[in-house]
Amino acid sequence: MAAIADLSDAPNQWEFSCDLEVDFESEENASIVYAALGVDKELQPDKVKRQMSISDGKLSVHFEAVEARFLRASFSAFVDVLTLASKTIEELGPGMVL
């Protein structure tokens, strides 16, 4: 039988967070970037969480981490691949599917 821990009195371990929103001005482009970046999972999911969503052509990303350094590293790595995906879409032009 598995035990269930009561975490109601436990301190919030996800103390550090930040949000990023990028307007791709197109639901299609936002969806392409979302799909491309969604396959890369966090390397340390016990230390960093990332949630992505798209709405009205905008990609929204919420990060939470147990320490500032993990948040900074995750955010920085994400922005690097986001930049690459965005440049790829720019090079292919509007309406091009990856």
The CATH number for 16-91, chosen from 3.40.50.10860, 3.30.310.50, 2.40.50.100, 3.20.20.70, is 3.30.310.50
Confidence of residue 94 (pLDDT cuts 50, 70, 90): low
* Contact partners, residue 52, CB within 8 Å, separation at least 6: 34, 37, 38, 59, 60, 61, 62
pLDDT in tens, 4-44: 444 444 456 889 999 999 998 889 999 999 998 988 888 88
pLDDT in tens, 54-92: 999 999 999 999 999 999 999 999 999 999 998 988 887
Which residue in 78, 81, 74 sits closest to 16, CA to CA?
74
Whole-structure pTM value? 0.77
Question: What are the structural domain ranges in the chain?
Answer: 16-91
Residue 89, phi then psi, degrees to nearest 5: -65, -40
Which pLDDT value is given to residue 17?
94
